[in-house]
Amino acid sequence: MSTLYLVRHGQASFHAEDYDQLSDLGVRQSRVLGEDCALRGLKMDAVYTGPRQRQRDTYQHLREAAAEAGHQLPEPQLLEAFDEIDIQAVTDQAMARVLPSCPDLPEQIRKREMTDAGREAMRHYGGIVRALLKRWAAQDLDFIETFDAFYARVSAALSQVMRDQGRGKNVAVITSGGPVCMAVRLALALEPAAAVDLMWIVHNASITRFKFTEDRFTLMGFNGIGHLREAELLTHV
């Protein structure tokens, strides 16, 4: 059987002008993962990345750190279908709903100086995002790609990778939380709402591992974070 490693990107730049950039911590998480690959001598026959900058940069920093430790990893192959849903559109709508109660919330987040009102607004914000994603899972959200379409493209991308790589290979895909959870759904036949619930717990720079053959796709480990040994490395953005 072959092994497929799905890696979520490092921490992105939450509420910065451009979310699709690794934060300084995201760079560090990526390098830690690369150092761990080198320490374990983890050989990769192929590596794919999604198209987002945060996905591609995660592998760049991972690969550089592994090389500095004497471990070579292959050139990445870009596969557009491992893109994330337009989560920015969801979070923007949630933020628009909470700003009337706390207009300076984005500034508080950037400065990491939260008032009581800011903390309450963030709780409200998180609840709205969850509710919107529940609606998305129920096919009741019309401003982003539908759940069924997203699941179909991720499943097709996984099938392409498995078909192209065949048996006895180690393959990695650097992607985002949404595709990771769609892969888990494929392996476990989860209901849409259950798959969406997983999106809240996938850590940045975590590893979800599968075994596969031409006709089998089996989950072996979900959201692995054993390489992230410092508490501050455990993030979900």
The string of pLDDT tens digits covering residues 135-155 is: 999 999 999 999 999 999 999
- pLDDT for 18 equals 78
**Both tokens of residue 151?**
């699941």
Q: Hey, what domains does the chain have and what are their CATH numbers?
A: 2-83+149-233 (3.40.50.1240), 86-144 (no CATH)
pLDDT reading at 191 higher than 80: yes
Q: What are phi and psi of 108, to 5 degrees?
A: -60, -40
b/e per residue 183-222 (b: at least 16 CB within 10 A): bbbbbeebebeebbbbbeebbbbbbbbbebeeeebeeeeb
| 7 neighbors 46 (Cβ within 8 angstroms) | no
Entry field: residues in the chain: 237
**Both tokens of residue 42?**
């983890």
Report how far residue 120's alpha carbon sits from residue 1's, in angstroms, rounded to the nearest whole number. Answer: 49
In the chain, % of residues over pLDDT 90: 92
Report how far residue 32's alpha carbon sits from residue 164's, in angstroms, rounded to the nearest whole number. Answer: 29
Three-state SS string across the chain, please? CEEEEEEECCCECCCCCCCCCECHHHHHHHHHHHHHHHHHCCCCCEEEECCCHHHHHHHHHHHHHHHHCCCCCCCEEECHHHCCCCHHHHHHHHHHHHHHHCCCHHHHHHHCCCCHHHHHHHHHHHHHHHHHHHHHHCCCCCCCCCHHHHHHHHHHHHHHHHHHHCCCCEEEEEECHHHHHHHHHHHHCCCHHHHHHHCCCCCCCCEEEEEECCCCEEEEEEEECCCCCCHHHCCCC
15 pLDDT tier (thresholds 50, 70, 90): low
- pLDDT for 24 equals 94
Mean pLDDT, rounded, of the chain:
95
List CB contacts of 103: < 8 A, sequence separation 6 or more.
Answer: none
pLDDT reading at 17 higher than 80: no
